[in-house]
Amino acid sequence: MRWLFSFLVLALLGAVQALSSSGSRLLVVLEELAEKDKYSEFWDDLRGRSYTLSFESPKNDKLSIFKHGERAYDHLILFPPKTKGLGPSLTPKLLLEFLKKDGNVLLTLSADHPTPSAIVSLLLELDIHLPTDRNALVIDHFNYDTVSAGEKHDVLLVPAPKALRADVKNYFEVDGTIAVPRAVGQGLGNTTPHLAPILRAGSSAYSYNPKDEAEIVEDPFAVGEQLSLVSAMQARNSARFTVVGSVEMLQNEWFDAKIGAVGSKEQTTTANRAFAAKVSEWTFKETGVLKVGRLQHYLNEGKKNVNESAVGVPEHNPGIYRIKTDVSYTIEISEYTSTHLSPFVPPTADDVQLEFSMLSPFHRLSLTPLAQTANSTIFGTSFVLPDQHGIFNFRVNYKRPFLTSVDEKRQVTVRHFAHDEWPRSWNISAAWVWIGGIWVTVAGWIAFVALWLYSEGVEKGVKKTQ
């Protein structure tokens, strides 16, 4: 029986041998299937990373991204439709539903055709703004490809993206320059924390409609680095949605095109292929995926925690503590990179933090890496519980751009001192006066009673003689 079971497990393992952490069924929605050959290298790359690709036209009536209420595919690549929209099976509502069910979407835009309003409203829901002028594309008069767009300046040459901030990891580092032909620039909303630009236009770029014959652009949609060429949205459930401003940059011809920068004679090859791989890796959750392993909190009694059992065993953390006790907290975090789990190392300027909160945090502590196993880092800290009873949460709320969110909340009760946990009165030196007082009173009373009884007896004797 056991061999059968292990065989089954092996078979299952073989079946799910994808590089993505969330499945390998990939649907490419392409209006004209003939066009797919233009992107064959991109497909080969994806197949090389063991995705099963299905190609469908949005006009296909039987197309459905759901089956029996569940996702039929794990990932979705949407090509810009030439007609008005993506059809009834890919409405914005269904696409958001797909994201809600942990599917990932790579949406590509093209400046060749006006972006359909369905896609515009979908992006608007995610606080990604497209130029109001549907034919606008991004132009840069200083960083364009001299080979292919010497006149129009609409093929941008953008250096490989650097880390967004010092405390954010960079998953899109490639060697060389990325060519972005005829891109639709996106403006990202300023309020939502779910958005992050992957590739930003140079500081001299601006959005412009070439069909608009005006000499001067007044009040452009966005300029400079505010224009995002490739942007990422990661929902609260860590579903990923990437907008690639230019579908052309994924084409075979741009994967190894020769480009020339302004002011330099030599021609180089684009890094588009590597960049496309990085973007698709990230979007389909091959990189930047965090996984929480064992999470422990325990009363720190000077000894090492006993709960050292294997991963997968349900947590045996205590549900109740007493105020003012020393508590340790450890959390095991791994990062998934393409093939395996590796120890997660936060960026240098960043910390994984633990909150111990009731209504508001009573402690907010940086977790220090205590140890590393083969595929995880164990972060931990110990602290003294506050002098406040109540229902508290150990919470690690680690949400960073490009990393799947970690929000681990463990509810514990912090109780008051029980009646027999206080120090005894004789251990408190200040109480000795009062203890002394009690015993003096007791002794005095006994002495008084003894005296009283003694003298009473004499009186009775006297009375009797009378």
Partner 1 sequence: MATSPVDPLLKQLTGPNTRSLLRVIILLTIAAAAVSSRLFSVIRFESIIHEFDPWFNFRATKYLVQNGFYSFWDWFDDRTWHPLGRVTGGTLYPGLMVTSGIIYHVLRFLTFPVDIRNICVLLAPGFSGLTAFATYLLTNEMVTSPSAGLLAAAFMGITPGYISRSVAGSYDNEAIAIFLLVFTFFLWIKAVKLGSVFWGALTALFYGYMVSAWGGYVFITNLLPLHAFVLICMGRYSPRLYVSYTSWYALGTLASMQIPFVGFLPIRSSEHMSALGVFGLLQIVGFVEFVRNQLPSRQFQTLLRALVLVIFAVSFGGLVLLTVSGVIAPWTGRFYSLWDTGYAKIHIPIIASVSEHQPTAWPAFFFDLSMMIWLFPAGVYMCFRKLTDEQVFIVIYAVLASYFAGVMVRLMLTLTPIVCVASAIAFSQILDTYMSIDSPTPEVQANGTPASASVAAASAMLPDGLRSTRNPIVGIYSYTSKLTVVAASTVYLMLFVMHCTWVTSNAYSSPSVVLASRLPDGSQHIIDDYREAYYWLRQNTPENAKIMSWWDYGYQIGGMADRPTLVDNNTWNNTHIATVGKAMSSREEVSYPIMRQHEVDYVLVVFGGLLGYSGDDINKFLWMVRIAEGIWPDEVKERNFFTARGEYRVDDEATPTMKNSLMYKMSYYNYNALFPAGQAQDRVRNTRLPAEGPQLTTIEEAFTSENWIIRIYKVKDLDNFGRDHGSAVAFDKGNKKKRAHKRKGARTLRVE
Q: Does 25 sit near partner 1 (CB under 8 A)? A: no
Residue selected from 32, 125, 212, 256 as contacting partner 1 according to rule CB under 8 A: 125
Residue selected from 47, 59, 82, 100 as contacting partner 1 according to rule CB under 8 A: 100
Residue selected from 47, 236, 258, 364 as contacting partner 1 according to rule CB under 8 A: 236
Residue with tokens 């590739």: 199
162-182 CB burial, b ≥16 within 10 A, e <16 = ebbeeebbebbebebbbbbbb
Choices 175-183, 228-236, 271-279, 428-436; region in contact with partner 1 by CB under 8 A = 228-236
Residue 188 CB neighbours (<10 A)? 22
186 membership: H or E segment, kind and range: strand 186-188
Report the residue number, 28 or 227, with the smaller CB distance to partner 1.
Answer: 227
Residue selected from 139, 233, 257, 279 as contacting partner 1 according to rule CB under 8 A: 233
Report the residue number, 94 or 147, with the smaller CB distance to partner 1.
Answer: 94
Q: Does 324 sit near partner 1 (CB under 8 A)? A: no
Q: Does 413 sit near partner 1 (CB under 8 A)? A: yes
Q: Does 235 sit near partner 1 (CB under 8 A)? A: yes
Beta bridge partners of 175: none
Q: Does 104 sit near partner 1 (CB under 8 A)? A: no
Q: Binding string to partner 1 for residues 31 to 50, with x set by CB under 8 A, is what?
A: --------------------
The set of residues, in sequence order, having a beta carbon less than 8 Å from that of 122 and lying 6+ positions away, is 92, 95, 96
The set of residues, in sequence order, having a beta carbon less than 8 Å from that of 324 and lying 6+ positions away, is 384, 385, 386, 387
User: C-alpha dihedral over 62, 67, 68, 69, to 10 degrees?
Assistant: -110
Q: Does 217 sit near partner 1 (CB under 8 A)? A: no
Residue selected from 23, 103, 161, 197 as contacting partner 1 according to rule CB under 8 A: 197
Report the C-alpha gap between 365 and 332 in whole angstroms: 16
Residue with tokens 């095991």: 332
Report the residue number, 126 or 378, with the smaller CB distance to partner 1.
Answer: 126
Report the C-alpha gap between 21 and 50 in whole angstroms: 12
**Segment 266 to 305, residues that bind partner 1, using CB under 8 A:** none
Residue selected from 31, 35, 112, 127 as contacting partner 1 according to rule CB under 8 A: 127
Q: Does 136 sit near partner 1 (CB under 8 A)? A: no
Contact 387, 377 (CB under 8 A): no
Instruction: Indicate left, alpha or beta for 263 from its phi (over 0: left) and psi (-120 to 50: alpha).
Output: left
Report the residue number, 236 or 258, with the smaller CB distance to partner 1.
Answer: 236
DSSP state, residue 348: T
Contact 44, 92 (CB under 8 A): no
Choices 34-42, 137-145, 252-260, 406-414; region in contact with partner 1 by CB under 8 A = 406-414
Q: Does 164 sit near partner 1 (CB under 8 A)? A: yes
Report the residue number, 49 or 285, with the smaller CB distance to partner 1.
Answer: 285
User: Residue numbers of the site for partner 1 (CB under 8 A)?
Assistant: 92-93, 96, 99-100, 121, 124-127, 129, 132, 164-165, 187-194, 196-197, 226, 233, 235-237, 239, 320, 358-359, 389-392, 411, 413-416, 418-420
